[in-house]
């Protein structure tokens, strides 16, 4: 391992000053960064400890939104009364992620910034990874790519975003608040993560020295008719093969509006606009659910081992919508 320095930020401004220096990395809970550092994937020259900053509050804003501080733990966010009452979808997604021990340490801001779990990225024995070494190639393209993307990928990278939380936040129209050397700005969660295109090394739109300060959820009509469905290889501590955040605004049996976002299928939470259009203004019968599932994976381009994800995503979308609408029980299997 190379040498590394450590400094604790006194306040947000101090954190930004330190974070803007080359080779600096912010560290809160450290549940992802430290693993990547130990394996040599991340090689910061300075760790900027932001864990003591006053950014852990979860509170309602004057206009009825909910502001979740970036340093709130995943456990605190999942169990907060206002999250459980108004944004049940987010609570479900958080509780489906990792283990209770990790959720007790992991922060909301860190969750948004976690790196992909692609085999070829996290194991430095594989030489060709454009995310680790831009321009080196992508071993996943012709390798074992069962967990990889079927939507929005490029020839540069077919990795997927591992966050459960981000999928739910995207369905709830959440906004990420950032503060950096150039001041403050806000980015919709749906636009926060990037598709790989020709710069797969850049997972997000965050700029050098920028610090996530909070995530804000607007008042929502999707409080009651929602469900987060995660399909994975084992019941706990596993990343999604496919996940679906389904949120409905219902008028009796008819869908007034919908948010359908997929995880485990792309470099970012994948909002299925076609699937939303397929259910809007409709009562959810088997035919409508099937159309929504098909629309959700329109344009999918699986590679080899990931082909099964197309049908799996279709079924997952249909089932998540049925559960959100109260037509099925959550304990049934896909």
Domain range for residue 316?
Answer: 225-324
> Is residue 233 in some structural domain?
yes
pLDDT at 246: 98
**Strand residues in 121-241 grouped as ranges (E):** 175-180, 183-188, 211-217, 225-231
User: Mean per-residue pLDDT for 299-328?
Assistant: 97
Average pLDDT, the chain: 95
> Is residue 47 in some structural domain?
no
User: Mean per-residue pLDDT for 70-78?
Assistant: 98
Residue 262, domain CATH: 3.30.390.50
| Tally of domains in the chain | 1
pLDDT at 334: 40
**Tokens 């501080």, residue?**
69
Instruction: Identify the bridge partners of residue 255 per DSSP, sorted by sequence position.
Output: 250
> Is residue 293 in some structural domain?
yes
SS3 content of the chain, % helix, strand, coil (to 5): 30, 25, 50
Is residue 302's pLDDT more than 90?
A: yes
Is residue 237's pLDDT more than 50?
A: yes
In contact, 183 and 301? CB cutoff 8 Å: no
Q: Residues with Cβ < 8 Å from 277, sequence gap 6 or more? A: 295
Burial 283-307 (b: 16+ CB within 10 A, else e): ebeeebbebbbbbbbeebebbeebe
- CA distances (Å), origin 154, targets 108, 148, 269, 300: 28, 12, 16, 12
Is residue 23's pLDDT more than 80?
A: yes
User: Mean per-residue pLDDT for 288-308?
Assistant: 97
pLDDT tens string 260-274 = 999 999 999 999 999
Is residue 311's pLDDT more than 80?
A: yes
Q: Shortest CA distance to 263 belongs to which of 73, 96, 110, 72?
A: 96
Q: Residues with Cβ < 8 Å from 38, sequence gap 6 or more? A: none
Indicate the pLDDT class of residue 332, thresholds 50, 70 and 90: very low
> Is residue 299 in some structural domain?
yes
pLDDT at 98: 86
User: Mean per-residue pLDDT for 229-254?
Assistant: 95
> Is residue 292 in some structural domain?
yes
Instruction: Identify the bridge partners of residue 180 per DSSP, sorted by sequence position.
Output: 183
């Amino acid at each position: 391992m190379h040498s590394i320095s450590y400094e604790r930020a006194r306040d947000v401004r101090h954190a930004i000053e330190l974070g803007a220096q080359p080779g600096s990395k912010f560290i809160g809970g450290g549940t992802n960064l430290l693993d990547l550092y130990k394996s040599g994937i991340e090689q910061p020259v300075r760790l900027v400890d932001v864990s003591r900053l006053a950014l852990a509050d979860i509170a309602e804003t004057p206009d009825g939104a909910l502001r979740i501080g970036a340093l709130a733990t995943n456990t605190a966010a999942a169990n907060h009364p206002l999250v459980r009452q108004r944004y049940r979808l987010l609570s479900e997604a958080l509780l489906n992620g990792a283990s209770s021990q990790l959720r007790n340490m992991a922060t909301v801001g860190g969750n948004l910034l976690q790196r992909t779990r692609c085999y070829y990225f996290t194991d430095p024995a594989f030489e060709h990874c454009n995310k680790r070494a831009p321009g080196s190639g992508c071993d996943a393209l012709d390798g074992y790519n069962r967990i990889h993307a079927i939507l929005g990928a490029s020839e540069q990278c077919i990795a997927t975003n591992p966050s459960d939380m981000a999928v739910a936040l995207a369905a709830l129209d959440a906004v990420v608040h950032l503060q950096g050397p150039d001041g403050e700005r806000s980015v919709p969660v749906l636009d926060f993560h990037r598709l790989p295109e020709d710069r797969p090394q850049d997972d997000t739109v965050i700029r050098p020295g920028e610090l996530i300060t909070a995530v804000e959820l607007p008042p929502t009509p999707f409080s009651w008719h929602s469900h987060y469905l995660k399909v994975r290889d084992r019941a706990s501590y596993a990343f999604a093969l496919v996940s679906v955040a389904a949120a409905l605004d219902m008028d009796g049996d008819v869908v007034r509006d919908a948010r359908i976002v997929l995880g485990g299928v792309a470099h970012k939470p994948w909002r299925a606009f076609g699937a939303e259009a397929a259910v809007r203004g409709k009562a959810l019968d088997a035919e409508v659910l099937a159309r929504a599932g098909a629309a959700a994976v329109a344009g999918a381009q699986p590679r080899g081992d990931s082909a099964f994800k197309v049908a799996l995503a279709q079924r997952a979308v249909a089932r998540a919508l049925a559960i959100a609408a109260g037509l099925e029980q959550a304990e049934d299997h896909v």
